[in-house]
């Protein structure tokens, strides 16, 4: 997969819009899926073409297609360009009303006020998320751990992550993930956090150019723009994750 550095300031408007659409999908998904003590019912899936809900009912999924910039629900397809997130919400609620579900979609706090999506930025976000998903799959395959969480994108923070408990009662765990950018770090980045935090974890010497983040949260950070020019950036990402395995 060919990637290049991104101008992350240009991503923000499209990122906020897509995050709000993901919030809608996530809220609807929770009307279908059973409660999980790990909150897995809140997470969406990432694929080569974008983002989708988990399997809701007999193969039904809500798909945010970033290749064509459209929302697909079964046989229903809605182009997104020109629609505000509130208009998309109404479209999804109308579809929900046509099913045997009687619930109203829970209230959502939206960020975006845009009615247009920059297709170039949407394609960049699609590629970033797919790269992250591939990296997390490789991490899971390359370790001896038998107990990873599903790889899911959580709309409230718009980050893709996987969690690995390190003991039988799940009291200690590592989370490996990727964010498009947020209030703490404006640009796309990979991260590793540990719960609960301890001095042994934050005392690990990280391979450059990764570093320890202490403002807003504590974790090992690897910024996408710092490594994408490397000839084998995919291997670099995987090696960075593995540093914090044990």
d(CA 200, CA 203): 5
pLDDT tier at 168, thresholds 50, 70, 90: low
pLDDT tier at 44, thresholds 50, 70, 90: very high
H or E, element range at 77: strand 76-79
User: What is 148-188 written as a DSSP string?
Assistant: ----EEETTTTEEEEEEE-STTS-SEEEEEEES--SS-SS-
pLDDT at 115 over 70: yes
d(CA 202, CA 220): 8
Strand order across the 152-154 sheet: 152-154, 159-165, 173-179, 189-195, 219-223, 211-213
- Return the bridge partners of 78, or none: 71
Contact 217, 202 (CB under 8 A): no
H or E, element range at 88: helix 85-97
d(CA 154, CA 156): 6
In the chain, what percentage of residues exceed pLDDT 70?
Answer: 92
**Which of 7-16, 95-104, 150-159 shows the lowest mean pLDDT across its residues?**
95-104
3 state DSSP class of 112:
coil
The pLDDT tens digits of the residues spanning 118-148 come to 999 999 999 999 999 998 998 888 776 667 8
The model's pTM: 0.92
d(CA 33, CA 25): 12
d(CA 53, CA 11): 23
d(CA 61, CA 80): 17
């Amino acid at each position: 997969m060919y990637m290049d550095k991104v101008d992350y300031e240009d991503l923000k408007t499209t990122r906020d819009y897509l995050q709000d659409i993901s919030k809608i999908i996530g809220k609807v998904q929770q009307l279908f899926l059973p409660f999980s003590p790990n909150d897995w019912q809140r997470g969406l899936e990432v694929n080569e073409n974008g983002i989708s809900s988990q399997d809701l009912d007999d193969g039904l999924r809500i798909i945010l297609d970033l290749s064509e910039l459209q929302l697909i629900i079964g046989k229903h397809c809605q182009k997104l360009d020109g629609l505000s997130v509130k208009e998309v919400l109404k479209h999804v609620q109308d579809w929900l009303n046509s099913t045997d579900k009687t619930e109203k979609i829970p209230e959502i706090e939206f960020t975006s006020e845009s009615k247009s999506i920059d297709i170039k930025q949407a394609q960049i976000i699609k590629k970033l998320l797919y790269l992250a998903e591939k990296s997390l799959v490789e991490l899971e395959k390359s370790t001896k751990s038998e107990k990873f969480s599903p790889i899911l994108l959580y709309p409230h923070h718009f980050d893709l992550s996987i969690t690995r408990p390190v003991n039988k009662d799940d009291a200690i765990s590592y989370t490996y993930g990727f964010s498009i950018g947020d209030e703490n770090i404006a640009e796309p980045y990979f991260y590793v956090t540990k719960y609960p935090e301890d001095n042994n974890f934050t005392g690990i010497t990280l391979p450059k150019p990764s570093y320890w983040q202490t403002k807003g949260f504590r974790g090992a950070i690897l910024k996408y723009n710092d490594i994408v020019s490397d000839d084998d950036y995919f291997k670099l990402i995987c090696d960075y994750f593995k540093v914090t395995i044990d």
